[in-house]
Amino acid sequence: MDVRDDAAQAPAFTTDAPPPAVSRRLRVITVVATFGGLLFGYDTGVINGALPYMTDDLGLTPVTEGMVTSSLLLGAALGAVVGGRLSDARGRRRTILSLAVLFFVGALGCTLAPTTAVMVVARFVLGLAVGGASVTVPVYLAEVSPAERRGALVTRNELMIVSGQLLAFTCNAIIARVGGGSGGIWRWMLVIATMPAVVLWFGMLVVPESPRWLASRSRFGEALEVLRQVRSRQRAEAELSEVSALAVKDEREKLGGRQEMRSTPWVRKLMYVGFGIAIVQQITGVNTIMYYGTQILTDAGFAADSALTANIANGVISVLATFVGIWLLGRVNRRPMLMTGQIGTTAALLLIGVFSLVLPTGDGRAYAVLAMTVTFLAFQQGAISPVTWLMLSEIFPMRMRGFGMGVAAVALWLTNFVIGLVFPSLVDGIGISNTFFLFVVAGVVSLTFVKRYVPETKGRTLESLEAELRARFS
């Protein structure tokens, strides 16, 4: 099965400019929904700085460190598939409202956790929210966005994810410097995540449901009303005609979800591609830097406080690179962008392993490793991560988009879970250099997969893309 980009031309779009109120409404919807991404980023990134202090207070070992870190990821795997199914059944907006409550409860549980066991459970609950948001928010944004702006608007969620991680790194460093070595300082780092959860809940009360989800439930009048909020009148009516035609066809076929995977070969093949895209994003080793960046920099030669501060550079470059990625998505195809990112991350990981192996402990090695982690994140957050979440929100059929992305995200989060769980033990057992060399091998395998199997998705409406993929994989 070879699905290389055939440089298919994008269909013609109705590009009549929407009135200012319509554009403003779309911006508000995007900002509110992407608070789910901000929470995703903060809750996954905060453990980076909180873990060393938590280790002392809770008496963590390398094994229990991995459990505390990866319990969120295991929860995210379950949250992704459940969140996907809920968003297909109950709607994108109602699902995100429920996730906001879960974010609040999970963050508060982590903050107040008295023991390692309670912390693991609370992080698992928080992971349910993270996984659900990782699926539902990009799907919601993809379905509310006009085709020619879909790449930029969906990847705003990735920008909020890395902004949340930068916020976590910055808050960690400030709290550590202000609080010094006082006990329980990590609790202040964790409790900050309750505030964006409140903003997300109140914000989602005033934004509309996805018009494509409404159409999939034959609520065409409501779908048109929503489209008129975010499109010009002419564009809204033309788009509803295309969406409703597909919705009627789906209703006749009476498929969707697990039944669709079992009975439709082209959807099954597409699911395998989705699994691959999801796994490719994780086996770069990105989250070893997101979760254990402070420890990596300490091992390279930084003092503990200096490592916390230096780790902010990782957050800054992630945000800047995501801005670049959003700009590039409007100008280049998704597939070559993904491959370029993989080449860059693999080279950076190779150099991290080499520097850790051959350079003596000291400032030289410390800053060399920091430079390579920054380079790695520039390629990861500027190319791989935005394209991954965007493609996963695009490639699945309308009737099972939430479910399909949810199942693919399970593969992503389970891969993340395994890496987060075993990374401390791998470093302890075979050393940091050999650990990163393993990621280099995985990067080469990933590049081969993308080159051979991943389709191009840029420049199509979701409906025309579905027709193209149906033909290509049948």
Please report whether residue 408 resides in a domain.
Answer: yes
Amino acid identity of residue 398, one-letter, is M
Q: Which of 213, 217, 262 is nearest to 407 (CA)?
A: 262
Q: Are 443 and 345 in contact (CB under 8 A)?
A: yes
Please report whether residue 14 resides in a domain.
Answer: no
Find the CATH number of the domain harbouring 393. 1.20.1250.20
Q: Are 107 and 43 in contact (CB under 8 A)?
A: yes
What's the pLDDT tens digit per position in 372-395?
888 998 999 899 988 998 888 888
Mean pLDDT of 103-113: 94
What's the pLDDT tens digit per position in 393-403?
888 887 777 78
Q: Which of 40, 57, 32 is nearest to 188 (CA)?
A: 57
Note the pLDDT of residue 381: 87
pTM of the model: 0.74
Helix (H, G, I), strand (E, B) or coil at 158: helix
Q: Is residue 314 pLDDT above 80, yes or no?
A: no
Mean pLDDT of 131-153: 87
pLDDT bucket at 424, cuts 50 / 70 / 90: confident
Domain count, the chain: 1
Averaged pLDDT of the chain = 83
Please report whether residue 250 resides in a domain.
Answer: no
Mean pLDDT of 272-289: 86
Note the pLDDT of residue 10: 40
281 against 307, higher pLDDT: 281
Q: Looking at 299-397, which runs of residues are DSSP E strands?
A: none
307 against 426, higher pLDDT: 426
49 against 275, higher pLDDT: 275
Among the residues of 217-333, which ranges form H helices?
220-230, 233-253, 257-263, 265-282, 286-300, 304-329
Based on the number of CB atoms within 10 Å of its own CB, is 406 exposed (0-12), middle (13-18) or buried (19 or more)? buried
* Chain length of the chain: 474
Please report whether residue 246 resides in a domain.
Answer: no
Helix (H, G, I), strand (E, B) or coil at 51: helix
Please report whether residue 360 resides in a domain.
Answer: yes
Q: Is residue 338 pLDDT above 90, yes or no?
A: yes
What's the pLDDT tens digit per position in 342-374?
999 999 989 988 888 888 877 788 888 888 888
Note the pLDDT of residue 155: 85
Note the pLDDT of residue 259: 63
Note the pLDDT of residue 8: 40
Note the pLDDT of residue 3: 43
pLDDT bucket at 30, cuts 50 / 70 / 90: very high
Mean pLDDT of 117-122: 93
Report the range of poorest mean pLDDT among 2-6, 234-238, 285-289. 2-6
In DSSP notation, 398-447 reads GGGHHHHHHHHHHHHHHHHHHHHHHHHHHHHHHHHHHHHHHHHHHHHHHH
What's the pLDDT tens digit per position in 155-202?
888 889 889 988 988 888 888 888 766 668 889 999 999 999 999 999
Q: Are 346 and 440 in contact (CB under 8 A)?
A: yes
d(CA 414, CA 408): 10
User: How far is residue 136 from each of residues 185, 230, 259, 267, 277, measured CA to CA in Å?
Assistant: 33, 19, 21, 20, 17
Please report whether residue 212 resides in a domain.
Answer: no
Q: Are 145 and 235 in contact (CB under 8 A)?
A: no
Note the pLDDT of residue 265: 81
Q: How many CA atoms lie within 13 A of 105 on its CB side?
A: 11
- Range among 72-76, 99-103, 170-174 rated most confident: 99-103
Mean pLDDT of 335-347: 94
The encoded tokens of residue 345 equal 């991350």
From the DSSP assignment, how many helices (H) and strands (E) are in the chain? Answer: 21, 0
3-state DSSP percent of the chain in helix, strand and coil, to 5: 85, 0, 15
Mean pLDDT of 429-442: 86
The encoded tokens of residue 376 equal 């790695």
Q: Which domain holds residue 269?
A: 20-207+255-473
Please report whether residue 309 resides in a domain.
Answer: yes
d(CA 317, CA 323): 10
Q: Is residue 14 pLDDT above 50, yes or no?
A: no
User: How far is residue 263 from each of residues 114, 120, 302, 306, 402, measured CA to CA in Å?
Assistant: 49, 39, 55, 56, 18
d(CA 428, CA 435): 10
d(CA 132, CA 90): 13
DSSP label of 46:
T
Q: Is residue 303 pLDDT above 70, yes or no?
A: yes
> Percent of the chain beyond pLDDT 90?
25
What's the pLDDT tens digit per position in 209-229?
999 889 888 888 998 999 888
Please report whether residue 203 resides in a domain.
Answer: yes
